Amino acid sequence: MSKVLIIGAGGVGRVTTIKCAQHPQVFSHIMLASRTKSKCDEIAADARKRTGHQKIETAAVDAENVPQLVELIRSFQPELVIHVALPYQDLTIMDACLETGVHYLDTANYEPKEEAKFEYSWQWAYQDRFREKGICAVLGCGFDPGVTGVFTARAAKHHFDEIHYLDIVDCNGGDHGKAFATNFNPEINIREITQKGKYWENGQWVETEPFEFKKSLNYPNIGARNSYLLYHEELESLVKNFPSIKRARFWMTFGDEYLTHLRVIENIGMSRIDPVIYNGVEIVPLQFLKAVLPDPGDLGENYTGETSIGCRIKGIKNGQEKTYYIYNNCSHQAAFDETGAQGVSYTTGVPAMTGAMMMLQGEWMKKGVFNVEEFNPDPFLDKLGGHGLPWTELHDIDLEL
């Protein structure tokens, strides 16, 4: 029985709140907070209706304002803060957790506003302070990053003596019916995919141009889809924590129409993150674009199809070469029916709740700052299927690596 503070009232915040409310024996009191309290109120009312959990409160907070965060944490006194807002806010929320002595979990690593760059160095630098304070921070507990790291940890624990090749493959095989929309925060999404990519090979990072490498990959229940090599943050922690890895890559699917819209957005300057003056007012073009694009939280109602995300691994077991594929497929419609959110939000919010449960039940609890693959994968994966994200393992197959 624990109090938990959830920060962020987008699609992932909705899913995380509803999934926590489904388990009152663990999350006895829930507070949902964001800059816009009305969004929190709507989600809280829906969560109460869907689950019957009545101890759900809401609050307004500026997640970039440490004193405000500290005041809210001290007034509510949670055991854990679940951060599912923007990656810009990781450090301020971690600062507030340090000041108040409260555990922390997030789903994406820190990214500075002024530069489209994300890496764990800023958050790993909190290791000593969290350890000395006696509190735990779990980083990147969504799906990718998150479940993909837990999948890799399971592979290393149960199926390989050495992992040599890792490909994380992410396919959204759904259709939301919009001309152009992103499946999570447009500002973060577009920053992420338009920067240069990179992958790990033979002990070093190899940089690529955006969308330079394309491969047609087959996904369960979906079929062949064009997949593009991107950089994704879990690669940084996985090659650190599994040093036998010789090559690690991340692949994501994009349709031709999506890429055409993206090229136009870039060519006309709407993906810029530096401010411009318009009618005497300073605006950031990408932030303005976010305001006019469809809200990812509103895509679920007519979303068909499913996502497929997993890890394709090759390595050695008992001196023999072995291949292994572990993945989850998630139906957009099923996610919407349960939570009112589409599958991409669902596949992030469910692991966030599951990771929080692991922390509060003592399964994932150490002093310091950790990525998910540094914990025992078994109790997390034992719960994940029952929470709505069942997973499948395939052994010794052609992985198209």
For the residues 355-380, what does the mean pLDDT come to?
98
Determine the 3-state secondary structure of 106 from DSSP. Answer: strand
* pLDDT band for position 198 (cuts 50, 70, 90): very high
Task: Read off the pLDDT of residues 292-319 as tens digits, 9 standing for 90 and up.
Answer: 777 766 666 778 899 999 999 999 999 9
Q: What's the confidence (pLDDT) of residue 280?
A: 87
pTM for this model (two decimals): 0.93
For the residues 204-219, what does the mean pLDDT come to?
94
Q: What's the confidence (pLDDT) of residue 98?
A: 98
For the residues 271-283, what does the mean pLDDT come to?
82
Task: Read off the pLDDT of residues 16-63 as tens digits, 9 standing for 90 and up.
Answer: 999 999 999 999 999 999 999 999 999 999 999 999 999 999 999 999
Would you put residue 221 in left (φ > 0), alpha (ψ -120 to 50) or beta? left
For the residues 78-100, what does the mean pLDDT come to?
97
Q: Please state, rounded to an integer, the average pLDDT across all residues of the chain.
A: 92
Q: What's the confidence (pLDDT) of residue 185?
A: 66
Residue 126, pLDDT above cutoff 90 = yes
* pLDDT band for position 222 (cuts 50, 70, 90): very high
Q: How far is CA 388 from the centre of its chain?
A: 16
Q: Which of 2-6, 249-253, 297-301 has the lowest mean pLDDT?
A: 297-301
Distant-in-sequence, close-in-space partners of 380: CB < 8 Å, separation ≥ 6: 150, 354, 355, 358, 363, 364, 372
Residue 184, pLDDT above cutoff 70 = no
Percent of all residues in the chain with a pLDDT value above 90, rounded to a whole number: 77
For the residues 162-174, what does the mean pLDDT come to?
95
Q: Please give the backbone phi and psi of residue 11, each rounded to the nearest 5 degrees, phi first.
A: -60, -40
Separation of alpha carbons 32 and 63, rounded Å: 12
Q: What's the confidence (pLDDT) of residue 281?
A: 80
Q: What's the confidence (pLDDT) of residue 400?
A: 77
Separation of alpha carbons 66 and 245, rounded Å: 39
Separation of alpha carbons 57 and 222, rounded Å: 40
Q: Which amino acid type is present at position 273?
A: I
Query: Domains of the chain, with CATH numbers?
Result: 2-139 (3.40.50.720), 147-339+390-395 (3.30.360.10)
Q: What's the confidence (pLDDT) of residue 192?
A: 74
* pLDDT band for position 186 (cuts 50, 70, 90): low
Percent of all residues in the chain with a pLDDT value above 70, rounded to a whole number: 94
Distant-in-sequence, close-in-space partners of 225: CB < 8 Å, separation ≥ 6: 171, 173, 216, 217, 219, 253
Q: What's the confidence (pLDDT) of residue 152?
A: 98
Q: What's the confidence (pLDDT) of residue 339?
A: 97
- Between 112 and 134, name the one with better pLDDT: 134
